[in-house]
Structure 1
Amino acid sequence: MAGLQRSKIMDLLAQKQFSQIVHLDEKPKNIIKILLSLLYERDKLISWRAVQTLGLVVAQRVGDQTEIARDVIRRLLWSLNDESGGTGWYAPQAMGAVIATGPESLAEYIPIMFSFIDDPRLTVGVLWGMAVVARERPDLVQQYTDEIVPFLAKPDGQVRAHAWWALYCIDPQLVQQVDVSTLDGEIYWQGEMVAPLWLKQEF
């Protein structure tokens, strides 16, 4: 049964039917468990969509059940621990999605999420996580502005694009001098990878 439900969620992610996943006739904990496992998929787009849907499940099915949301964060942090036996490359962005949509008390995990920013394997995920939190509560991440700015000058195009996005979500004035057309990375937004210029035009 678990295998069938996982396949169903995979199919719904492929079709971008995120709301259907949120409202599956299944316990939220079970949906969350499957979504966490999908963060390890080889298909990067599926992993990104699992990140987004995880945030939606916490927001719409978990609500103010703080302990469930905290358990999700703890499991994501564990996946970044060498003892976990795995590598949670999508853990920082998933933390951001959960913090952004979960109970306000989860804000205490923002410094922990941000602490991974200097790991080159996790930098993009941390910046995206900061951006998604900023879109909901920019006041929670404004203090990190000065630490994010240097990432605009990194050689990695994905890092530069995500640094711009994080700063733009905190306060567009912070990056008003950046020529967005020169940013060659792509950013996940609502099921797809899109160009920074497209995001700026949308928002």
Structure 2
Amino acid sequence: MPNTPHRNLKREVLSLLQEKDLPTLKKEILCFTPKKVVNVLIGALCHRVEEVRWKAIACIGPVVAAIAEENMESARVIIRRFMWMLNEESGGMAWGVPEAMAEALANHRQLAEEYTSILISYIWLEGNLLEYPPAQRGVIWGIGRLAQVFSDLVAKFNGPTYALHLLDSEDLWVKTLACWAYIQMQEIIPRNLKEEICQKLANFSSQNFVILLYDGKALVKANSEDLRSRLTALLN
């Protein structure tokens, strides 16, 4: 597999993303040259199938980490590429990019130390707020994902506090992913913030739906009402 001709790389990687289960996929993706396969994975963030998009996100993490171990500056270039794609001046909506950036950080401590503050700034009202709800979904998922592995960095840069306004979002996916993220952040939520979160949860819509997400280990289907109820119980 490492000797796959360049012209066939995209086809083979997309086939793996569509056909392999996640544990197998992660192992096989790392058989490719990281600097080459990462571009195919970034392209797959726009795939029409949601499961394929999430698999690409999950694979980007270990691939960027492998690049960082070989050449840290090359990994920084990829993170800066994500940042450019999230910049309004880039001229497009970068589907899956906040998630990909977060997963890369979650797989490498030094990258996380350097860029967690920037990821969190994308949901900070006085920071680099991304106003488009689909982008906010990706950022808040990413903050929750980072909290699973580097909760100290999420706490250091006030992730729980800056995320609070997302619980008032008119976008149900943003609110639901914020619940998921707060569950991951439960150990670092300031005491004075817990009551505010509970008040906002009490005003949630009764509409219930299921979302697909990567929970750091596997692709799972999460029920919005279950997440809200679970978070409420954890905070009380």
Map of 1:27-176 to 2, 5 A cutoff? 27-60=33-66, 62-63=68-69, 65-117=71-123, 118=129, 119=131, 120-142=133-155, 143-171=158-186, 174=189
CA gap 1:82/1:153 in 2 versus in 1, 3 angstroms: closer
CA distance in 2: counterparts of 1:170 and 1:66, whole angstroms:
28
Unpaired stretches in structure 2, ≥5 consecutive residues: 124-128, 231-236
CA distance in 2: counterparts of 1:75 and 1:173, whole angstroms:
30
Bigger radius of gyration among the two = 2
CA distance in 2: counterparts of 1:172 and 1:157, whole angstroms:
24
TM-score, normalising length from structure 1? 0.82
CA distance in 2: counterparts of 1:187 and 1:54, whole angstroms:
18
The AA in structure 2 aligned to 1:48 is: W
User: Hey, what does 1:7 align to over in structure 2?
Assistant: 11
Unpaired stretches in structure 1, ≥5 consecutive residues: none
TM-score, normalising length from structure 2? 0.72
Aligned-residue CA RMSD (Å)? 3.0
Query: How many equivalent pairs are there?
Result: 200
1:107-128 Cα offsets, whole Å, 9 max, x none, are 2322222233342231000001
